[in-house]
A and B are shown apart, each in its own frame.
Chain A
Amino acid sequence: MTADPTSPLAAWTDRLAALAPALTVAERPFRAQLTVRVSDPSAIEAMGSALGVAFPPVPCTFTSGSGPFGDLEVLWLGPDEFLVVASPGLQVPIEDALRAARGSARGSVVDTSAQRTTVVLEGAHVRDVLAHGCSVDLHPSSAPVGTCVQTLLARTGIILQVTGEDRFAVLVRSSFAGYLAAWLSDACMEYRT
């Protein structure tokens, strides 16, 4: 028997909620994440069909949709590297499905669900807050909805997804999540009214 899981930002829930209305910050913990390394185009296509969501063909983008495993997202991490993100608890069946779809092609499917937690940021000032620590141009003209970049936010390695007009998802290493939350609350200070 194992202990109940505690999310990396469980201790921050109230303090992050207090940042509203400057910024709405919510953690989405325990999402199923699988790192997929595969370069064979037919295997990539087969894996996309197995999930019901095609893998992103363009660098620095992500795809999302619904399939046999519910709503999920496939993030581009590198020319032969993808991250499949789905609802909590689905890592084992998705891993099995991806392994079966890969067939004999070279590649790997690894469960990395515990590696990162997701922080969803939303609000009119979200770009201003992120600009305090992130050098990537996040203006909608250069980072439209569907963009997914790996970069540094306040010296912390993150995956940044543009999921809506003023909505971003930040995937951060669990061990860095507390630092990121502290930095976010500080960066929000000037936008609180």
Chain B
Amino acid sequence: MQLIPCPWCGPREEAEFHYGGQAHVAYPEDPSALTDEEWAQYVFFRENPSGPFAERWSHSAGCRRWFNAVRDTRTHDLLAVYRVGEPMPELGEKDQVAS
């Protein structure tokens, strides 16, 4: 089973974790000013890259903290793990998203 390195507890089995979708989706500053289309974009639309993807994970069977991870969706490799509030770390050149 894949090991996911929790920033607090260290590497643990994937079964201990809960997936939380794309990271860094900011809540709209003024939600009431959004059109229905913009609100739908915020609520339902997410990136779906082939390559590195910043995601939220929760160590639900351990310390129960949320953290962010950059996962390569092609290989399922976790390229970086960082705590909530920390900026996304720089990735190596080979891990950059091909656009």
Contact = CB atoms under 8 A, between A and B. Distances in A.
Contacts of B9: 59-60, 149-150
Main secondary structure of the interface of B (DSSP, over half): loop
A77 B62 CA distance: 8
A151 B8 contact: no
B2 to A, nearest CB: 11
A152 B59 CA distance: 11
Given A79-B8, A135-B13, A59 B63 contact: yes
B63 A151 contact: no
A150 B6 CA distance: 12
- What is the size category of the interface that chain A forms with chain B? 10 to 19
Contacts of B65: 78-79
A152 B63 CA distance: 12
A133 to B, nearest CB: 11
A164 interface: no
A149 B8 CA distance: 11
A157 interface: yes
A152 B15 contact: yes
Nearest to B83: A79
Contacts of A79: 8, 63, 65
A136 interface: yes
A77 B59 CA distance: 12
A78 B83 CA distance: 13
B13 A150 contact: no
Contacts of A77: 63
A136 B65 CA distance: 18
Given A79-B63, A135-B1, A151 B12 contact: yes
18 contacts: A59-B63, A60-B8, A77-B63, A78-B63, A78-B64, A79-B63, A79-B65, A81-B63, A135-B1, A149-B9, A150-B62, A150-B63, A151-B12, A151-B16, A151-B61, A152-B13, A152-B15, A152-B16
